[in-house]
Structure 1
Amino acid sequence: MAYYRQLGPVPQQRHTLFKDEDGNVLYEELMGEEGFSLDSALLYHQHIPSALVGARTWELPDQSLTPNDPLLPRHLRLHDLFTEEQTPDVDAVTGRRLVLGNSDVRLSYAHVGTTSPLYKNGLGDECVYVEAGSALVETQFGPLEVAEGDYVMIPRATIHRWVLRGDETARLYFIEANSHIAPPKRYLSKYGQLLEHAPYSERDLRGPTETLLREESDVELYIKHRGRGTSGLQGSIHILPHHPFDVVGWDGCLYPYVFNIKNYMPLTGKVHQPPPSHQVFEGHNFVICNFVPRKVDYHELAVPVPYYHSNVDSDEIMFYVDGDYEARKGSGIAKGSISIHPGGHPHGPQPGAIEASIGAEYFDETAVMVDTFRPLDLGEAALATDDGLYASSWTGGRWIEEAGR
């Protein structure tokens, strides 16, 4: 995010000798994207950030993917993935379960109740949507308080952990990119400022407000990174001689931040607005949109629910968070559901939804949508929660079994 911030002391000039008040040398680290030709930050450590005293393999949670074959729209019930008895032992790093994925993005889910290990994603940025609950996200840039409705943007290789305090729990939806995630380019000026037509501004973005220092030795850091397996992913655990939260000051345009969905200003119109009008972020070969409570169309013959549409270049993944999603009434979809509408299959309102929406002035619905430009395969969490009925919901449950073919 090209929006300059500074926390803690930094030297007047970059790449010059810098010492703390006791005369100890502080170690400068340049953290930069795309070969240092995109956003970057300069961090000043108390200890050498490269230091390592041990390493071992981290066996990642199940990353297997199964093709959506035969091609079907599907309904997944994510709230069925974790029982209330399991939640106290689930953390946001080792406990997330893979729902969908391809070579550009992976969608995972967890209902967490305990603090995670220290972690960094070496493959790409993570955008984590907090469906419910609260947590403290500690990062090497400083802490972030997060709660229901927050998008938590964590740049690639940012060391962080999810801290659950007391009886806190959180339902988390993870969008893990193999690229960077940022506001859409059409929302940004030539130099990176959010423009007037953007549905949010820099005032809505919350970054760290204080640094975070920890003194510990022989600290474990979980790392997800590129590998040679069938998933292309690999996990390692590094043992660091000093705690990585030793940054006394930093500045730049690369850092974690939070944006709450309630601060998104929806675009509305005389007739139904297309999905790109709801976009909030984008990554390589995918976009993130959100649907929020809003006034709906005001043409005298307007049909407020979406028209049937074939998004021929994309798989459309809708995560239903809150409210009453008008177009899906009668399909079994509820809070915590995901609908999969694959490219190549037209989709739209359930039977009766068009008629029921006529005259509506306001929709009370909240959902997070990810559209991908490569097909998504099914993770183990999708296979475990597919209701098996959604594809027949437009025909009242009628389904012909093709046995033996």
Structure 2
Amino acid sequence: MAYYRQVGEVPPKRHIQFRDLEGRLYYEELMGEEGFSSDSALLYHRGVPSAIVASELWELPDQGTAPNHPLKPRHLRLHALQTGDCAVTGRRLVLGNADVRIAYAVTGTSASALYRNGTGDECVFVESGSGTVQTVFGSVDYRTGDYVVVPRATTHRWVPAEPSRLYAIESNSHIAPPKRYLSRYGQLLEHAPYSERDLYGPTSPLLVEGEDVEVLVKHRAGGRVVGTRMTYASHPFDVVGWDGCLYPYTFNVEDFMPITGKIHQPPPVHQVFEGHRFVVCNFLPRKVDYHPLSVPVPYYHSNVDSDEVMFYVGGDYEARKGSGIGLGSISLHPGGYAHGPQPSAIEASLGAERFDESAVMVDTFAPLDLGEAALEAEDPAYAWSWASDRAGRGAESQ
């Protein structure tokens, strides 16, 4: 996020001596994207940030996937899943491909393990709950409806104030506002549905003492996602100050200003973030189309280049009435398959002036495979819901 911040103490120039009151030198660390050629931050540590004393295997939860074959739409009931109570180790893999993975966790009120994702940025949507994410940059508070964006390789931990439902979008790239929302220098433009005022980053350093501190690291090895448990000589939360344009932040859906039109608007107007070969959109309570002959629910469409994943988090989703989908549901509509509203929802929507619905959508440009959680949480009747009078025949043909 190319929006400059300074938190805590930093020296007047980069890469010069910076000492504490006793004359001890702080250790400068550059966190930078794209090999010194993109957004970065300079952090000033009390301890040596690379001083590890142990490195051991961390066995990740099941990361196996199965292809969506034979091809069909899927309905996954996430609220039916049992997860561990840790925001990190309790995650269960729902969907994934080589570009992005979607996982789900329901936390208790205990702090998670210290953790960083070395494969890419994370964008975690808070379905419900509140708490704090503590990071090397400082703390950010979270609440229901927040996206918590954590840059790649940021050591952090989740500290829930109450049980929280977390929908984790783990990328193999960076996650940022869409380029069309940004000026050539990175400022959010007037036509963007949110602005820098809506982004909340750390405001003060977080200093924690400690020795022999374990950090769980997710990274790639041998072409797959694996885990390592690193032990640091001193606590990673020892940064007295930092500045730059790379840091964690939160953005709440209440601060997204939906764009509406005279006729039905396509999903790109609802986009909030993008990564490499995927996008994140949110559909929120809004006024709908005002043409006298408008059809407010979406038209049938074939996303020939992408899979569409919709996570239903609030309200009453008009287009899916009669399908069995409710709060906590995911619909997966794969590329190569035409999808759209349930037939009864089209007539029912005519004349509507407002929709009260909230959903988070991830569109990917490579097919998504099914994680172990998807296979457990699937509603097998969903695929036949557009032809409900012939549901039995559809089920027999599986």
TM-score w.r.t. the length of structure 2 is: 0.98
The one-character-per-residue Cα deviations of 1:73-122 (angstroms, maximum 9, x if unpaired) are 0100000012xxx6xx5101100000000000000000111321000000
Residue 247 of structure 1 aligns with which residue? 239
Question: Could you tell me whether the CA contact under 8 Å between 2:381 and 2:395 is conserved in 1?
Answer: no
The one-character-per-residue Cα deviations of 1:250-304 (angstroms, maximum 9, x if unpaired) are 0000000000001000000000000111000000000000000000000000000
Residue 99 of structure 1 aligns with which residue? 94
The correspondence of residues 231-380 of structure 1 with structure 2, limited to 5 A, is 232-380=224-372
Residue 157 of structure 1 aligns with which residue? 153
Residue 124 of structure 2 aligns with which residue? 128
Identity of aligned residues (%): 68
Distance 1:129 1:344 in 2: 28
| Structure 2: runs of 5+ lacking an equivalent | none
The correspondence of residues 17-28 of structure 1 with structure 2, limited to 5 A, is 17-28=17-28
Measured at CA, do residues 11 and 335 of structure 1 come closer, stay the same or move farther in structure 2, by a change above 3 Å? same
Distance 2:395 2:332 in 1: 22
Secondary structure at 2:281's aligned position in 1? Answer: strand
Distance 1:26 1:49 in 2: 11
Distance 2:193 2:21 in 1: 44
- Report runs of 4+ in structure 1 exceeding 6 Å deviation: 402-405
Question: Could you tell me whether the CA contact under 8 Å between 2:384 and 2:395 is conserved in 1?
Answer: no
Distance 1:180 1:257 in 2: 14
Q: 2:377 aligns with which of 366, 385, 390?
A: 385
CA deviation after TM superposition for structure 1 residue 5, in Å: 0.1
Aligned AA (1:186): R
Distance 1:187 1:194 in 2: 6
Residue 104 of structure 2 aligns with which residue? 109
Measured at CA, do residues 289 and 401 of structure 1 come closer, stay the same or move farther in structure 2, by a change above 3 Å? closer
Q: RMSD of aligned C-alpha atoms?
A: 1.2
Q: 2:177 aligns with which of 183, 191, 198?
A: 183
The one-character-per-residue Cα deviations of 1:224-255 (angstroms, maximum 9, x if unpaired) are 001116xx111000011111000000000000
Question: Could you tell me whether the CA contact under 8 Å between 1:32 and 1:39 is conserved in 2?
Answer: yes
How many residues end up aligned between the 2 structures? 396
